[in-house]
Amino acid sequence: MLKQYFTDLAAYNSWADQKAMDWLSQITDEQWELVNKSSFSSIKQTAVHIASAEKIWINFWTGAADPVYLSANFTGTKNELLAIWTAASNGLESYINSHPEEELMRPVSFIYPNGNTGQMRYYQTFAHIVNHSTYHRGQLVTLLRQAGYSHFSSIDLATYHILHADLL
């Protein structure tokens, strides 16, 4: 049951990410770059942060040599970022789907953006990244509203489960 919970969370995360990316693909470059007060200074910087975090956790899980936070040096276009984010989101889902349940307790070492290191169990890091992405997608909604975008639909977990119910 534990692995099923995480595969469900991964599917939810991919679904919600795709909805957010669909919204972002509809905004202008001016809206994308609009400076605003939030955790990050713009829609662009918030999206870069989400994509960067999803991508770096895959690097930590797979033991990639010298993982680099995308947010430290991304200079690409909106479409390039959306492609990276799509790959990372799909990568999270693929990784958990192929990850043996008995490995969910294994320790994962990671590096914070400030260079400090830490360690948590795999299942904790997976839950963290889904929660992290959900938090910042909420910020994207606020930033998009402030930029004049209003074509939203719900992307919360309950909505996902209702739309994808297989046992009810």
Question: Bridge partners of 107?
Answer: 121
DSSP-derived secondary structure letter, 70: G
Q: How far apart are CA 61 and CA 78, in angstroms?
A: 27
Is 136 labeled as ligand-binding?
yes
Count of beta carbons in the 10 Å neighbourhood of residue 69: 17
Both tokens assigned to 137: 């997608």
Is 151 labeled as ligand-binding?
no
Q: How far apart are CA 93 and CA 97, in angstroms?
A: 6
The C-alpha torsion from 17 through 50 and 139 to 141, rounded to 10°, is -30
Is 128 labeled as ligand-binding?
no
Annotated binding site: 49, 132, 136
Annotated binding site for a divalent metal cation: 49, 132, 136
